[in-house]
Structure 1
Amino acid sequence: MVAVSGAPGHRFSKPLQDSIRLLAGLGVEGDAHCGESVKHRSRVAVDPTQPNLRQVHLIHAELLDELNAAGFDVAPGQMGENVLTRGLDLLGLPVGARLRLGAEALVEITGLRNPCAQIDAFRPGLLKAVLGREADGRIVRKAGIMGIVLEGGAVAPGDAIAVTLPALPHRALERV
């Protein structure tokens, strides 16, 4: 892991932390998105009883490298992620993949982050930069993945990440 972040209020960027604590069934302790039911404001407006499939947000540092090379000036935590990884193909993981973060925490991947217009308020043009298109016209969402916490524990930069894939057939990630 490269960095960890969390913030109690609903805001786009999250300050870096020395460590965060994941709580089973809830998410990142003290984070605005922590809870059994959905916390994202637009989703709460539709149905506040929806299960929270977005308890932990992970982004790959390679995305920040790509965005910075394109002139966006984005640092760890600024895209609202809780966990920043490097060397792990997050977007290539299937639904149900499990990530052991550090010695204790276990996160199950639920889907792709669906970036909203707030991202352009942070850096104009960033929404287009984190959305691509396949040759067949399908949208490619590059702004990270979401997961739920199965087992809690402390997570810190430098901690290892171990991946366990679900049984075949694998289901590709979709937006959650």
Structure 2
Amino acid sequence: MKLLSVNLGRPKSVDYTDQPEGLTGIDKQPVDGPVRVAAPGPKGVGASGVAGDTVCDLRHHGGDDQAVYAFAREDLDAWERELGRQLPNGSFGENLTTEGLDVSGARIGERWRIGPEVVLEVTSGRIPCRTFQEHLGERGWVRRFTRQGAPGAYLRVIAPGEIRVGDAVEIVHRPGHDITVALQFRASTTERHLLPRLLAAGDALHSQIARTAREYARAHAAEN
């Protein structure tokens, strides 16, 4: 398991974002050399946890629970075959393109060591949005991506440091529960009845998703 690419987004003016300035950082490109990773701060204040990466929409992106976004090269390859087009590393707006790692099959709270210093913790999957769809230029993309159910993983920074292309990725902690990124994604999108199951992941679960799961569980307990 290794890091194939570290990808950074620069502010880009587009006509498909609802940001007042019309800017997005989704167009991420691979970079050479070491890149520092650190916790950026709470949602709405903190941006990306990857130095040099731009987050333009702080309402929905960035913050400690979404400090880093990882996507598997194997899943990009599968989409290349389905879409009939090339998808270079970074095409899905991911900061980290990995090889040999089951990113969407990772458990919430799973921890990865990348290189000698950095430790990241899986918090949730990525929910597709209009910006993602327009960036790729694929009709019905949100629906197709959701149906595929392999969203890649958001991670929080447990131990900061530098990462670089070619760094080994090691799973240093795998929780005992069975709540994977893929299951969480289904619960948050197409199978809402699964939301209460997510609470088994404890404090590792993305805080906003945990709040939604608790509210859903309370509401349905009251109904019963």
Counterparts of 1:164 and 1:105, CA distance in 2? 11
Using the TM superposition, give the Cα deviation of residue 148 of structure 1 relative to its aligned residue in structure 2, in angstroms: 0.6
Q: Is contact 1:5–1:20 with CA below 8 Å preserved after alignment?
A: no
Question: As a proportion of its length, which structure holds more strand?
Answer: 1
Per the alignment, residue 20 of structure 1 pairs with 35
Using the TM superposition, give the Cα deviation of residue 24 of structure 1 relative to its aligned residue in structure 2, in angstroms: 3.8
Q: 2:51 corresponds to which letter in structure 1?
A: E
Q: TM-score, normalised by structure 2?
A: 0.63
Question: As a proportion of its length, which structure holds more helix?
Answer: 2
Q: How does 1:53-72 map to 2 (within 5 A)?
A: 53-70=65-82, 71-72=84-85
Per the alignment, residue 147 of structure 1 pairs with 155
Residues 24/117 of structure 1: CA separation in 2 closer, same or farther (3 Å cut): closer
Counterparts of 2:126 and 2:111, CA distance in 1? 17
Using the TM superposition, give the Cα deviation of residue 116 of structure 1 relative to its aligned residue in structure 2, in angstroms: 0.7
Per the alignment, residue 136 of structure 1 pairs with none
Q: Which has the higher contact order (CA 8 A, sep 6+)?
A: 1
Q: 1:79 corresponds to which letter in structure 2?
A: F
Using the TM superposition, give the Cα deviation of residue 75 of structure 1 relative to its aligned residue in structure 2, in angstroms: 1.0
Q: TM-score, normalised by structure 1?
A: 0.79
Answer with 118-127 or 151-160: which moved more.
118-127
Q: 2:111 corresponds to which letter in structure 1?
A: R
For the residue of structure 2 that corresponds to 1:103, the secondary structure is coil
Per the alignment, residue 36 of structure 1 pairs with none
1:156 corresponds to 2:164: yes
Over the aligned positions, Cα root-mean-square deviation in angstroms equals 2.3
Per the alignment, residue 11 of structure 1 pairs with 25
Q: Percent identity?
A: 25
Per the alignment, residue 60 of structure 2 pairs with 43
Q: Is contact 2:119–2:160 with CA below 8 Å preserved after alignment?
A: yes
Counterparts of 2:115 and 2:123, CA distance in 1? 20
Q: 2:119 corresponds to which letter in structure 1?
A: L
Residues 40/97 of structure 1: CA separation in 2 closer, same or farther (3 Å cut): farther
Counterparts of 1:149 and 1:121, CA distance in 2? 29
Counterparts of 1:89 and 1:66, CA distance in 2? 13
Aligned residue pairs total 159
